[in-house]
Amino acid sequence: MPRVSMFSLIIASVIHLILVHLFVKVFNWGFFGICIATSIMFVNRFIACVVQIEFTPSLKNVYGVKLFSQEST
């Protein structure tokens, strides 16, 4: 299971670095550019996790945790 978070973290970090450079240095957006790059990084990390889970056969059998269940209340 840690491979999923490591994979998504590496992909999102690379994209984040590229976007921070683009928004801050190229477009000269400053702090606003960092905020936008960070938001995009979190979306990319989520997408990378979903893709990793979808294409890893051993993770297909993991049962999901429901938000509103007896165990979580």
**Model confidence band, residue 5 (pLDDT cutoffs 50, 70, 90):** low
pTM flag (> 0.85): no
- Residue 22, pLDDT above cutoff 90: yes
Q: Provide the sign of the torsion angle of the four alpha carbons 7, 42, 53, 2, taken in this order.
A: positive
* Better-predicted residue by pLDDT, 59 or 14: 14
Neighbours of 65 (CB within 10 A): 8
* Better-predicted residue by pLDDT, 48 or 3: 48
Tokens of 22: 């683009």
